[in-house]
Amino acid sequence: MIYVVFVEPETPGNIGFLARTMKNFGLYQMVLINPCPLENDSYYKAMHAREIVSNRQEYDSLAEFLKIKEIDFAVGTTGNAGGSYNLPRIAVTPDNLAQSLNVNGDIALIMGREGDGLTNKELELCDVVVSIPTHDAYPVLNVTHAAAIIFYELFKTEKTYPVEDLDEASLTEKQGLIECMDEVLDHLDYPAHKKKNASTVFRRVLGRAFISGREAHTLRGMFRRIKERVE
């Protein structure tokens, strides 16, 4: 089970926004540590995730929560990653976390205060710390924006999308497209060296692209129409 822990939230609206973001990625266990008073704004901002706010758990401190729930793996977050000499703030990126997280048990994703984040003492309670690279011009992320990025990286390793009737184009279909392209170039009176370059570029673009069999069929029809017009 994954718990999303918000330490000392300062504004009711951010609690609602976090609940909404959690539900976007299939997370339902919200834990609030010594929160501000919840108001209608918490439920209003949560939209269709109001039940997450209603079913929240509250604790007086992060240490109390981790001990009572016997959390197996605690993930802290910081917007102020440290170097080698600031041990509590040595951090990984969200994608690093998602690729390496392999825990059978209860996991806590811990978000810090809107203003000050998590303290070094709180980060020392965590098994790993995550930080999101941002631009120097404005490096501070809103807590719910940061949460969304982390949730997404974790979610995308699990989520699969329907690919029915989305078979990749075969080598023969791709080669047929290249031949159609070459035929069009023949009718455009391209100089030989330019034709070769254009054909090479098209082959390379096609090679880098994921193209379905249906898309290949559609493109071949387009090239045939172009060829007919220029003949």
Window from 67-76, 128-137, 163-172 with minimum mean pLDDT: 163-172
pLDDT, position 40: 93
Question: What pLDDT, on the 0 to 100 scale, is given for residue 29?
Answer: 97
pLDDT in tens, 188-214: 877 888 888 888 888 878 777 777 888
In percent, the amount of the chain with pLDDT more than 70 equals 92
Please determine, for residue 147, whether its predicted confidence score (pLDDT) is greater than 90: yes
Which pLDDT band, with edges at 50, 70 and 90, does 25 fall under?
A: very high
Residue scoring higher pLDDT (186 or 41): 41
Give 32 or 166, the one with higher predicted confidence: 32
The answer, yes or no, to whether residue 158 has pLDDT greater than 80, is no
Tell me the pLDDT tens digit for each residue of 57-94. Answer: 999 999 999 999 999 899 999 887 655 445 556 788 99
Of 70, 53, 63, 67, residue with least CA distance to 4? 53
Share of the chain above pLDDT 90, in %: 45
For each of the domains in the chain, give its residue range(s) and CATH number, in order of start: 2-156 (3.40.1280.10), 171-230 (no CATH)
Q: Tell me the pLDDT of the chain averaged across its residues.
A: 86
> What is the pLDDT at residue 217?
86
